[in-house]
Structure 1
Amino acid sequence: MDKIKTWIVEHPTTYSIVKYLLLVVFVLILIQLARRFLRKQVTDTVARYKSQKGIEILGYVILILLTFSYFSGNIKDLTLAIGLFTAGIAITLQELILSIAGSLYIFIVKVYKPGDRIEINGIKGDVIDVDSIYTTMMEIGQWVSSDNYSGRIVKLSNAFVFKGPIYNYSQDFPFIWDELNLPVTYGSDKEIAKSLIIKIASNILSEFTAKSKSQWKSVVNKYYIEDALVDPTLAITLTDNWIQFNLRYIVDYKRRRSTKHLLYDEIHKAIKKTKGKVSLASATLELIKIPEINVELTNKAE
């Protein structure tokens, strides 16, 4: 013990650093124990996730306060210590500071949360985690068509919330407008085509239409935005080759692909049942046979 006391007296700086590191390790262990306890005790997934993130953020705040108070020697000097500390690392840790500030901005302003489908910095996917530095997403698109998972997990710095637009597919209004185009021949019965398309769309999309109407009212009341029609609408365009039927409708953002497949399938079946009164058009090239030409050559000398 005497040797330890002597070493402490002779090496006060080293002792202070070791003491500080032990304090940090102790706080980190407490954070992990608290997270494990919550993981076992809280059964609800959302509540468990939020409580663990809250413990993590609280632990970081405690570590920062302990660091400033420990090295400044007096809690009254905390403001001065914060100023000096910030000035020293502002340039070297600029991206890290922006990421931490971005995480606070995300949680406070509720830019997005785990479970939301967003597009940020050209990357689209479902948010599966938001920590103090990164937003983790399950990527959608790229080499796969429509809104399917690519299988890649993307980690994106939270600093990007300050650097560009963020497209949220599910916040406040978990529906999106989609459309499909049907080319119909000029010889078809236009009224029958209109009737069957609207009927099928109304039946398939009735659930989305009913749910979206009440939620759209909340969006209109919350934001400065005009009211919009959420019922399926049909517009007709005359082209050089066919009559184009454009169906515009509202759909759950996670069921866009399956809904479009169902619409195409049911419309195709209904058109077949019209027995030729309605037929789909396609771009075709008709080759006309050139008639044979007989050429007889005569000898002028004869």
Structure 2
Amino acid sequence: MNKVFEFWAESTGLPLETLSKILLSLTIILFLYLLKIIVLRIVWRQTKNVKTRYQWKRSISFIMPFLGLILVGSVWLQAFRQFGAFLGLFSAGLAIALKDPLTNLAGWFFILFRHPFVVGDRVQIANHAGDVIDIRLFQFTILEIGNWVEADQSTGRIIHLPNGKVFTEPQVNYSTGFDYIWNEMQVRLTFESNWEKAKKILQDIINQRAENIDRAAEREIFEASKNFMIHYTHLTPYVYTSIKEFGIQLTIRYLCNPRKRRGTENEIWQDILSQFSNHTDIQFAYPTTRFYTRGESKGEQSHTSN
């Protein structure tokens, strides 16, 4: 074996010690790569849970490169000491040239240890909102919601954002701390409608829909208050009354899970339409324009259009 190393050293022109370190480094990298494949195959056979598989894959992807860096670095430690001054200057220049990647790497550490969000959370970063589906060294990935799709439904697009965004943009988390959001629905009635009856109907509908949410939200707020200054006096749904330019507006305010917002709106609107259809003294209002024409024989006539 020594003769083989000596032959390679003579062929490449490298010192025998350097060639040995190169071969040892390659052996370490190959070993860690094979170990990663073996571990993941074992995990894949043991479970079919998507979340468990993803967590194992992500952990192995972080641990193996870190472990390889330590092991390979220990092999070349003596050589690094000999070129310490050069490496210092080189590192300084590299830090300037790689400012953005290093910022993203720092952002990854911040996400990893501070946990502003984790995989599975629904977040909004700047103008982008979605569910976090992956977090890597230099970027995290979200499955977009909203945009041209209403009620926070998924668009199907995947957005990759640099980790450095956590230092420059506010992060809105729909999931961490408190699993509910306040949602509002506006119901507009004509001035001639029996708004008191309509308000009672709306209050009864939302009370039935939100009965279980109130109790769950109370528990969530109690747990969230351990880490955040979250305080709500009332969690029960309520219907507010206001006057708009073309009718009476009744605003329903209630708690809902952010991922079930559209579903709850659909159920509530179906109940509203069904209930209001039984009452002739309750009419929906909508914007109208009224104009007048003067006829030669019929006199003044009034016309109304949407």
Q: What count of residue pairs does the alignment treat as equivalent?
A: 292
In the alignment, which residue of structure 2 is the partner of 1:7? 8
Counterpart mapping for 1:30-179 below 5 A: 30-73=35-78, 86-179=91-184
The CA distance in 2 between the partners of 1:186 and 1:278, in whole Å, is 10
In structure 1, C-alpha distance between the alignment counterparts of 2:242 and 2:141, rounded to whole Å: 43
User: What is the rounded CA distance, in whole Å, between the counterparts of 2:218 and 2:113 in structure 1?
Assistant: 28
2:270 to 260, 265, 268: 265
Q: Deviations over 1:120-174 (max 9, x none)?
A: 1321111112222321211112232221211112222222122211111111211
TM-score, structure 1 as length reference: 0.85
Change (3 A) 1:293 1:273: closer
Provide TM-score, normalisation by structure 2. 0.84
Instruction: Give distance in 2, aligned partners of 1:74 and 1:154.
Output: 42
The alpha-carbon deviation at position 111 of structure 1 amounts to 1.6
Contact 1:184–1:279 under 8 Å retained in 2 = yes
State the match for 2:29 in structure 1.
Answer: 24
Q: Deviations over 1:169-188 (max 9, x none)?
A: 11121111110111111111
The residue aligned with 1:299 is none
1:285 maps to what in 2?
Answer: 289
Partner SS for 2:96: coil
Report the Cα distance in structure 2 between the residues aligned to 1:93 and 1:30, rounded to whole angstroms: 31
Identical-pair percentage: 26
5+ residue gaps, structure 1: 295-302
Whole-angstrom CA distance in 1 between matches of 2:246 and 2:191:
8
Q: Which residue matches 2:214?
A: 209
Q: CA deviation at 1:284?
A: 1.7
Q: Answer yes or no: is the 8 Å Cα contact 1:133–1:158 preserved in 2.
A: yes
Q: Does structure 2 retain, via aligned residues, the 8 Å contact 1:241–1:283?
A: yes
CA-based RMSD of the aligned residues comes to: 2.8
Structure 2 unaligned spans of 5+: 299-306
Find 2:227's aligned residue among 222, 225, 240.
222
Q: Distance in 2 between matches of 1:187 and 1:161?
A: 52
Aligned equivalents of 1:227, 1:162: Cα separation in 2: 30
Provide the C-alpha distance between the structure 2 equivalents of 1:258 and 1:103, rounded to a whole number of angstroms: 34
